[in-house]
Amino acid sequence: MYKLTQKDTGVCTANGFFADGISAGLKANNEKDMAFIFSENECEVASVFTTNKMYAAPIKHFRAKGDFKTNFVLINAKNANAMTGKAGVSDIDDILETLPTNLVNPLMSSTGVIGVRLAKEKIIKGSKLFDLSKKESNAAANAIMTTDTFSKEIAFKVELEDGSSFSIGAMAKGAGMINPAMATMLCFITTDAKVTKQEMQDILDEVTITTFNAASVDGDTSTNDTVLLLANASSGTYDKNAFKDALHKIMLFLAREMVRDGEGATKLVTYEVTGAKDDKEAEVVAKALSDSLLVKTALYGEDPNWGRIASTVGASGVDCSEESLSISFNEHCVYNKGELIFDDAMEEKTSKVMKLDTFTIACDLGISNGKFTSFGCDLGHEYVKINADYRT
Amino acid sequence: MYKLTQKDTGVCTANGFFADGISAGLKANNEKDMAFIFSENECEVASVFTTNKMYAAPIKHFRAKGDFKTNFVLINAKNANAMTGKAGVSDIDDILETLPTNLVNPLMSSTGVIGVRLAKEKIIKGSKLFDLSKKESNAAANAIMTTDTFSKEIAFKVELEDGSSFSIGAMAKGAGMINPAMATMLCFITTDAKVTKQEMQDILDEVTITTFNAASVDGDTSTNDTVLLLANASSGTYDKNAFKDALHKIMLFLAREMVRDGEGATKLVTYEVTGAKDDKEAEVVAKALSDSLLVKTALYGEDPNWGRIASTVGASGVDCSEESLSISFNEHCVYNKGELIFDDAMEEKTSKVMKLDTFTIACDLGISNGKFTSFGCDLGHEYVKINADYRT
C-alpha cells in the first residue's frame, strides 16, 4: 500500500529540482517564453518522441547523444526549430555551449513555427537571466505555453508503507494533435524516485498508450512532440506500483487538460469503445471517433447525431455490424443492436447530455472483448479562426 | 482515333435514357427531392459502393439481387435509409412494388440523414408523378442535391473512326467524404455503348481510383456512397480506349466539382505527390495532405504555411526525409531538399498563389518514382456552421 498526496508545485515538487520561466523577447509584450528545469544531481532520462519522420532539431540533438545523464533542460516557445536541417542542430550546440559549465549534458526543447531558424542571440541572452535556485514551476509552465489558454501542471507526493517517500511532478503544453497549429505537445516530468533508466522507460512507454496517445485527435503527429522524464534518485526510495500509478494519474490529467484546452474546444468527450475483436481494433474505433470531423462538428452543434457515430464506426475498417452495435450518450442508449430507439423523448434527454462540458459516448461493438478509451474535443469556429491565422 | 464532343444533356444524352426530378414533399418549399433514370432497353450495371461496414439499405437491396439487368433507378434525397436494419430493406421492396410492372428490377438510391425510416407514403405518392418520357436531366440532377450549391452533370458524344458513335452522360451529388454531413456521394452514369458488364466494371474500378477516390478528404467513408453505371447497348458500338477516356473525363470532372462544392469550400487544391517509394505511398501522402486539418485551415487563411505541408508528409508514415523533400506552390519552390528558401519575396509570391480559387501544391519526396494526385478543399467557418447544424 501507498498514499498519494497531490501538490501544487509542479516540476519543482521532487527533491533537488528547480525551474523558472523568463521573457527573452520571443513572444510579444514581455510574456514569458523561455523556461529551464535544473536538478542538483544528475538525472536518468526516459523519453517519448514524435513518430513524425520530419522530427525537429532538438530531437535529432537528443538522439545523437546516445546514453547519457543530464541535469538541465532549456525550453523555448515561438519556434519549433523543425525543418531547419543541420543548421538547426548546430544552433542548439551554439546555444548550449554558452550555458554555465557546471551543467551536465544540457538538453533543449522547442515549440512554435516550423521552418524558421532559432533567434539564437535572443535565446542566449535570455538564458543569462536564469536563476538556477528558483523553484517557480508555474512560471516555467506559463513560459512554454503557445495557444494554450491555461498552464498545465500537477504533482504527487508518494508515501510508502516503510515511511519513505518520493515525488513526481510535471508540466505540459498543448497540444500536438489537438492544437495542430502549434505542431507540438511538450511534457516534462521530474521525480526524485530511485528508479532505473530502463524501468522508467518501460513504464513511460506503457502509460503513454492510454494517456497522451489516447488524446490523439486527428492523426497529425507533430514534428516536436516530446515527453521527458527526469529522475535524480535523491529520495533514495522507489516502489514500482506506486510510481506507475502516480505517473498514470499525472499523464492522464495532463492529456485530458490538453484536450480540454484544445484550440476553440468547448467540450471534453470520452469515447469508451468495448466489445471489439481485440484492444487494437477498439483503439482504431476510439481514435476514429475522436478524430472525425462529422463527430466533432456535431459535438460543437450539441446535436445528439448518433448516425454519425455509427457511420464513423463502420468506416473505421474494423469488425462490426449494424446488428451487434450499440451506442450510448452517458447513461442513455440511443441505438441498440439494430433497434431504432431514438424517439423525441430520447432526443430531449440526449440533447441535455450534449450541452454538458464533459460526457461519455460509449460504443459496444458486440463482437468480442477488445476495449479502448480515447479523449476528444469538439471543433468550432474558434478552431478555424486560430488555425487559419496562426503563422502570420 | 476517336472524337469526344461535350453535351449538356447529362444522363439523358445516351440513346434511350430518360430522367426527371419531381417534388414529393421530402424537402421543404416544394423543392425537387426525387429523381428517376429510365432506359427503354434493359441495362447491364456496373457499380462501386462504400466500403463502410454500416452500408445503407439501398446497397443491401442491390447486393441481394445477384446478377441482374435493370431499366430503372429511383433516387430520393433527405433520408439515407441507413442503420434502418431489415425494415429499411423491406421499405425499399414496398416502394418498388408500387411502380409500373413494365420496369425491370428497379433499383433505389438514397441520400440524407442516417437512422430514420423512409417516408414511404410520400415516396410512393411522389413516384406516381414520374413521366417516363421526360428527358429532364438537369431536373434530376437538382432533385438529388442536398447541401450541394449547384447541380453536377456532364456528358460526351464519342465518335469512332468507323463513323459509329455512342454517348456517356452522368450526374452526381456531393459529396461523401467532402461533405460528411450528408454522408453520401451519389453518381449515376448512363451509356448506350455496347460494352460487356465485366469490361465496364473493370474500367469503372480503375477510373474510380484516380477520380472519386482521389477526392477523399477526411477518410470518413459514408454509409451510402454509390456510383452506378448503366449501359443499354442501344448504339450498337463500342471502343474500349474511347470509352475509358470519356468515362475518366466525366468522373474526374464530377470528382473535382464535388470538392469545389465541398461545404463552405472556397478553394480547389490539387496535391501532386511525386518521388515516393511507390504509387501507394504517394497516395497515402496525397490523401494525408487533402485530409489534414492543419493544411485545410491554412488554405482557408490563405497562408503559404509550407511547414504544415512538411509536417503532414512526415506524419503520414511513408519513406521520406527532410533532406530529400521539396515543396512547391504552383511554380514556386518553397522548400528544396534541406534548403530554407522561404524569404519575404517568396512569401509575397506564394501569398498570391494562395488567394487563387484553384492551384497546385506539389511535393517531391525524392525517394523513387511513385506518384499520385489528389484533390482537396479548405475548411472554414461555413463548414463548421453547416455541419454543426445539419441534423436538426
* Per-residue pLDDT tens digits for A13-60: 999 999 999 999 999 889 999 999 999 999 999 999 988 899 999 999
Q: Are residues A256 and A274 in the same domain?
A: no
Contact B322 A379 (CB under 8 A): no
pLDDT tens by residue, B108-157:
999 988 899 999 999 999 999 999 999 999 999 999 998 888 999 999 99
Q: Which residues of A touch B301 (CB under 8 A)?
A: 387-390, 392
Contact A54 B313 (CB under 8 A): yes
- Element containing residue A275 per DSSP (H, E): strand A268-276
The answer to whether B13 and B135 have CB atoms below 8 angstroms apart is no
Q: Are residues B236 and B297 in the same domain?
A: no
The answer to whether A244 and A158 have CB atoms below 8 angstroms apart is no
Tell me the C-alpha to C-alpha distance, in Å, between residue B29 and each of B25, B128, B149, B234: 8, 20, 16, 39
**CA angle, B109 as apex, B107 and B111 as ends, to 5°?**
170
Q: Which three cell numbers stand for residue B385?
A: 456552421
Last residue of a domain, one of B205, B230, B260: B260
- Name the residue facing A301 among B113, B306, B389 (closest C-beta): B389
Mean pLDDT, rounded, for A223-247: 96
Q: Which three cell numbers stand for residue B389?
A: 447544424
- Is A389's Cβ below 8 Å from some Cβ in B? yes
Mean pLDDT, rounded, for B183-212: 93
Mean pLDDT, rounded, for B41-65: 94
Between CA B132 and CA B17 the distance in angstroms is: 9
| pLDDT surpasses 80 at A106 | yes
pLDDT of A218: 55
- Name the residue facing A384 among B83, B300, B315 (closest C-beta): B300
Q: How many CB pairs under 8 A join A and B?
A: 222
pLDDT tens by residue, A286-297:
999 998 888 888
- Is B355's Cβ below 8 Å from some Cβ in A? no
- Is A346's Cβ below 8 Å from some Cβ in B? no
Q: Which residues of B touch A183 (CB under 8 A)?
A: 294, 307-308, 311
pLDDT of B216: 64
Number of domains in chain B: 2
- Element containing residue A14 per DSSP (H, E): none
Report the percent of chain B where pLDDT is more than 90.
77
pLDDT tens by residue, A183-212:
468 999 999 999 999 999 999 999 999 998
- Is B201's Cβ below 8 Å from some Cβ in A? no
pLDDT of A179: 41
Contact A115 B300 (CB under 8 A): no
Between CA A109 and CA A228 the distance in angstroms is: 10
Q: What is the mean pLDDT of chain B?
A: 92
- Is B387's Cβ below 8 Å from some Cβ in A? yes
- Is B220's Cβ below 8 Å from some Cβ in A? yes
- Name the residue facing B52 among A115, A303, A315 (closest C-beta): A315
- Name the residue facing A294 among B180, B338, B381 (closest C-beta): B180
Dihedral class, residue B309 (left if φ above 0, else alpha if ψ from -120 to 50, else beta): alpha
Mean pLDDT, rounded, for A211-221: 73
Mean pLDDT, rounded, for A361-373: 97
Tell me the C-alpha to C-alpha distance, in Å, between residue A172 and each of A150, A176, B172, B285: 10, 11, 48, 30
Fill in the amino acid letter for B309: I
pLDDT of A181: 40
**Between A147 and A338, residue with greater pLDDT:** A338
Mean pLDDT, rounded, for A219-231: 85
Q: Are residues B245 and B273 in the same domain?
A: no
**Between B377 and A138, residue with greater pLDDT:** A138
- CA B36 from centroid of its chain's CA atoms: 19
- Among A49, A50, A54, most B C-beta atoms within 10 A, so best to mutate, is A54
Name which of A108-117, A226-235, A282-291, B378-387 the model is least confident about.
B378-387
Mean pLDDT, rounded, for B61-82: 95
Write out residues 293-322 of A within 8 Å (CB-CB) of B. Answer: 293-294, 297-298, 300-301, 303, 305-308, 310-315, 317-318, 320-322
| pLDDT surpasses 70 at A170 | yes
Q: Which residues of A touch B180 (CB under 8 A)?
A: 292-294, 308
Mean pLDDT, rounded, for A270-284: 97
pLDDT of B275: 98
- pLDDT band of residue A175 (cuts 50, 70, 90) is low
Mean pLDDT, rounded, for B193-208: 97
- How is residue A190 annotated by DSSP? E
- Among B319, B322, B324, most A C-beta atoms within 10 A, so best to mutate, is B322
As beta bridge partners, residue A155 has A7, A169
Mean pLDDT, rounded, for B265-275: 94
pLDDT of A217: 55
Q: Are residues A122 and A256 in the same domain?
A: yes
Tell me which residue range forms the domain holding B377.
Answer: 268-389
Between CA A175 and CA A155 the distance in angstroms is: 19
Q: Which residues of B touch A391 (CB under 8 A)?
A: 298, 303, 305, 307
Q: Are residues A220 and A273 in the same domain?
A: no
pLDDT tens by residue, B242-261:
999 999 999 999 999 988 88
- Is B127's Cβ below 8 Å from some Cβ in A? no
Residue B284, domain CATH: 3.10.20.340
Contact B315 A220 (CB under 8 A): yes
Q: Which residues of B touch A380 (CB under 8 A)?
A: 384, 388
Q: Are residues B83 and B226 in the same domain?
A: yes
pLDDT of B297: 86
Q: Are residues B254 and B276 in the same domain?
A: no
Q: Are residues A185 and A323 in the same domain?
A: no
Contact A53 B82 (CB under 8 A): no
Last residue of a domain, one of A260, A288, A318: A260
- How is residue B237 annotated by DSSP? -
| pLDDT surpasses 80 at A269 | yes
Residue A64, domain CATH: 3.60.70.12
Q: What is the mean pLDDT of chain A?
A: 92
- Name the residue facing B183 among A297, A311, A387 (closest C-beta): A311
Write out residues 262-281 of B within 8 Å (CB-CB) of A. Answer: none
Which has the closest alpha carbon to B188: B223, B148, B150, B153?
A: B153
- pLDDT band of residue A389 (cuts 50, 70, 90) is low
The answer to whether A347 and A337 have CB atoms below 8 angstroms apart is no
How many helices (DSSP H) and strands (DSSP E) are in chain B?
A: 11, 15
Mean pLDDT, rounded, for B378-384: 82
> B173 to chain A nearest CA, in Å?
18
Mean pLDDT, rounded, for A159-180: 82
- Is B348's Cβ below 8 Å from some Cβ in A? no
pLDDT of B238: 98
Mean pLDDT, rounded, for A62-68: 94
Contact A115 B340 (CB under 8 A): yes
Nearest residue in B to A179, CA atom: B294
pLDDT tens by residue, B297-339:
889 999 898 998 999 999 899 999 999 999 999 999 999 998 8
| pLDDT surpasses 50 at B181 | no
| pLDDT surpasses 50 at A133 | yes
- Per-residue b or e along A303-341, where b marks 16 or more CB atoms closer than 10 Å to that residue's CB: bbbbbbbbbbbbbbbbebebeebbbbbeeebbbeebebe
ipTM (interface predicted TM): 0.86
Radius of gyration for the alpha carbons in chain B, expressed in angstroms and rounded: 22
pLDDT of A182: 41
> B1 to chain A nearest CA, in Å?
42
Q: Are residues B249 and B103 in the same domain?
A: yes
> B179 to chain A nearest CA, in Å?
9
Which has the closest alpha carbon to B243: B268, B207, B278, B209?
A: B207
Helix or strand or coil: residue B71? strand
| pLDDT surpasses 60 at B179 | no
pLDDT of B175: 62
Give the β-pairing of A370-377 and A268-276: antiparallel
Between CA B111 and CA A241 the distance in angstroms is: 53
pLDDT of B220: 66
Nearest residue in B to A176, CA atom: B294
Q: Are residues B50 and B181 in the same domain?
A: yes
- pLDDT band of residue A222 (cuts 50, 70, 90) is confident
Q: Which residue in A13, A50, A184, A221 is the catalytic one?
A: A184
- Name the residue facing B84 among A321, A340, A391 (closest C-beta): A340
- Is A85's Cβ below 8 Å from some Cβ in B? yes
Between CA B376 and CA A37 the distance in angstroms is: 43
- Name the residue facing B115 among A340, A388, A390 (closest C-beta): A340
**Between A163 and B224, residue with greater pLDDT:** A163
Last residue of a domain, one of B237, B260, B283: B260
Q: Which residues of B touch A387 (CB under 8 A)?
A: 293-294, 297-298, 301
Q: Enumerate the active-site residues of B.
A: 184
pLDDT of B177: 46
Contact A388 B303 (CB under 8 A): yes
Nearest residue in B to A323, CA atom: B85
- Is B129's Cβ below 8 Å from some Cβ in A? no
Q: Which residues of B touch A112 (CB under 8 A)?
A: none
| pLDDT surpasses 70 at A70 | yes
Q: Which residues of A touch B387 (CB under 8 A)?
A: 293-294, 297-298, 301
Mean pLDDT, rounded, for B63-83: 95
> B96 to chain A nearest CA, in Å?
23
Contact A303 B219 (CB under 8 A): no
pLDDT of A216: 64
Q: Which residues lie closer than 8 Å to B62 by C-beta, 6 or more apart?
A: B47, B49, B107
Nearest residue in B to A220, CA atom: B315
pLDDT of B166: 98
Between CA A94 and CA A108 the distance in angstroms is: 11
Residues across chain B: 392
Nearest residue in B to A181, CA atom: B294
Cα torsion through A247, A253, A256, A261, rounded to 10: -120
Q: Are residues B226 and B319 in the same domain?
A: no
Q: Are residues B304 and B224 in the same domain?
A: no
> B240 to chain A nearest CA, in Å?
34
Q: Which residues of A touch B177 (CB under 8 A)?
A: none
**Between B292 and B126, residue with greater pLDDT:** B126
